Structure 1
Amino acid sequence: MKWLLITLGIIALIIGYSYVTVSNGPIEPLGRLSFVKLANPDMYPGHPDSELLVKYAEERGSKCALVVHFTGSSNYRSYNDSGVYIIEVGFIDTQGNGSINISQVNFLDSLKVALFGVPDGRYKYMSDGHVYDTYDEMMAHVNELAQEHGQEGPLPLVWHGTVRQDNPILVQGCGFPLYFQILTQTYGIIPAYVYTITGMLFPYFNNPYRDFELKNYATLQSYYDQGLLNENYKTVNDSYQYNIYKNNQNYD
Structure 2
Amino acid sequence: MSRSSYIIIAAVLLFGSYLYAVTALSPVEPVGRLGFVKVANPDMYPGHPQSKVLADYAAQRGSKCALVVHYAGDSNYRHYREGNVTIIELAYISQEYRTDIDWTEVLEAFIFGVPDGKYRYRADGYEFSSLDEAMDYVERIAREKGQEGPMPMVFHGTVRDGNVFINPGCGFPLYVQIAWRQYGRLGAYYYIIKGLIHPYLNNPYAAYELMHASDLQRLYNRGYLDYTMRG
TM-score by length of 2: 0.92
Aligned to 1:36: 37
Question: Is the alpha carbon distance of 1:21 and 1:111 closer, same or farther for their aligned partners in structure 2, counting shifts above 3 Å?
Answer: farther
User: Superposition pairs for residues 226-237 of structure 1, below 5 Å?
Assistant: 226-232=222-228
Q: Secondary structure at the match of 1:24?
A: helix
Q: Deviations 1:131-163 (Å, cap 9, x if unpaired)? A: 111111101110110011010111110000000
SS of the equivalent of 1:164 reads coil
1:163-217 CA distance string (max 9 Å, x none): 0011111110000000011111111111011011101000000000011000000
CA distance in 2, matches of 1:59, 1:233: 34
Find out whether 1:195 has 2:196 as its counterpart. no
User: In structure 2, what is the Cα distance between the partners aligned to 1:20 and 1:233?
Assistant: 45
Equivalent residues of 1:44, 1:233 under 8 A apart: no
CA contact (8 A) 2:31 2:153 kept: yes
Tell me the equivalent position of 1:143.
139
Specify the SS of the correspondent of 2:58: helix
Partner of 2:170: 174
Q: After the TM superposition, which of the residue ranges 38-47 and 116-125 deviates more from structure 2?
A: 116-125
Q: Pick the aligned partner of 2:109 from 96, 109, 113.
A: 113
Q: Once the 2 structures are TM-superposed, how far is the Cα of residue 10 of structure 1 from its aligned partner? A: 8.0
Name the counterpart of 2:97: 98
> Against the structure 1 CA distance between its residues 44 and 233, is the aligned structure 2 distance closer, same or farther, given a 3 Å change threshold?
farther
Report Cα offsets for 1:217-237 as digits up to 9, x if no partner.
0000000111000014997xx
Contact 1:67/1:89 (8 A) holds in 2? yes
Q: Does 1:220 align with 2:216?
A: yes
Q: Secondary structure at the match of 1:119?
A: coil
Unaligned runs of at least 5 residues, structure 1: 236-252
Alpha-carbon distance in 1 for matches of 2:80, 2:121: 18
1:23 paired residue number: 23
Q: How far is 1:22 from its partner?
A: 4.0
Q: 1:218 to 1:7 in 2, by over 3 A?
A: farther
Aligned residue for 1:245?
none
Percent identity between the two aligned chains: 47
**Could you tell me how far apart the structure 1 residues matched to 2:33 and 2:63 are?**
18
CA distance in 2, matches of 1:29, 1:233: 34
Does the 8 Å CA contact 2:99/2:159 hold for their aligned counterparts? Answer: no
How far, CA to CA, are the matches of 2:213 and 2:21 in structure 1? 36
State whether residues 121 and 127 of structure 2, in contact with CA within 8 Å, keep that contact through their aligned partners in structure 1: yes
Letter in 2 for 1:84: V
Correspondence list, 1:66-81, <5 A: 66-81=67-82
The corresponding residue for 1:122 is: 118
Counterpart Cα distance in 2 of 1:6 and 1:34: 38
For structure 2, list consecutive stretches of 5 or more residues without a partner in the other structure: none
TM-score by length of 1: 0.84
- The residue type equivalent to 1:54 in the other structure is A
Instruction: Give distance in 2, aligned partners of 1:108 and 1:6.
Output: 38
Q: C-alpha separation between the residues in 1 aligned to 2:87 and 2:9?
A: 39
The aligned amino acid for 1:127 is A
Q: CA RMSD in A?
A: 2.2
Aligned length: 230
Query: How far apart are residue 7 of structure 1 and its match?
Result: 8.7
Cα distance, 1:13 vs. partner?
5.3
Deviation at 1:23, TM superposition (A): 3.5
